[in-house]
Amino acid sequence: MWDGFNKRKFPRLHLTCEVVVYPQGRERAIKTITENVGMGGLCLMLDEPLERFDRCKVTLELKDGGPPVQCTGRSVWVVPNRELKSPVKRYDTGIEFLDIDDSSRQRLRAFLSQPQK
C-alpha cells in the first residue's frame, strides 16, 4: 500500500472495513475492503482504476452494529500497484468524502476514536 506523505488534514487509521463503491456512470458496484479510514476519506485497493476526480457513492460498514455509512465521494489519487510475483495490476485509491451527513460524521468520529482490536 502506498502511504504517500502523511500531510492529511484528517489522519487515518489502518482499518479493514467492508466498502462498496458505486462509480458514477458505471453499471456495477465495486466491493472491497479499506486499507485505512479517516474523517476525510478512505484508502482502498481496487482491481479496476477510477479516474482521478471521479465521483462515486460510498457505502462503508463500520462494524459497530449500526447501518452502513453512505455518502458521496471522489477519487483524489490512483496509484497502480503490482505484486512482485503476480502479473495482476491493482490500484491503490484514495477517496475523499464529499457529502456525509452529520449523524454519519458523528458515528464515524466515535468509531475512529475507539481503541481498535
Is 1 part of a structural domain of the chain? Answer: no
Higher pLDDT, 51 or 114: 51
Give pLDDT tens digits for 28-81.
999 999 999 999 999 999 999 999 999 999 999 998 889 999 999 999 999 998
Q: Which three cell numbers stand for residue 58?
A: 460510498
The pLDDT value given to residue 64: 87
Q: The whole model's pTM is what? A: 0.84
Is 31 part of a structural domain of the chain? Answer: yes
Quote the domain boundaries for residue 83: 12-67+74-101
Is 4 part of a structural domain of the chain? Answer: no
- C-alpha span between 86 and 13 (Å, rounded): 28
Is 61 part of a structural domain of the chain? Answer: yes
Higher pLDDT, 117 or 98: 98
The pLDDT value given to residue 9: 54
- C-alpha span between 38 and 58 (Å, rounded): 14
Measured at the alpha carbon of residue 116, what is the angle toward residues 108 and 93, in degrees to the nearest 5? 60
Is 85 part of a structural domain of the chain? Answer: yes
Number of domains making up the chain: 1
The pLDDT value given to residue 22: 96
Three-state DSSP state, 109:
helix
86 in Cβ contact with 58 (< 8 Å): no
Task: Residue 89: give its domain's CATH number.
Answer: 2.40.10.220
Is 117 part of a structural domain of the chain? Answer: no
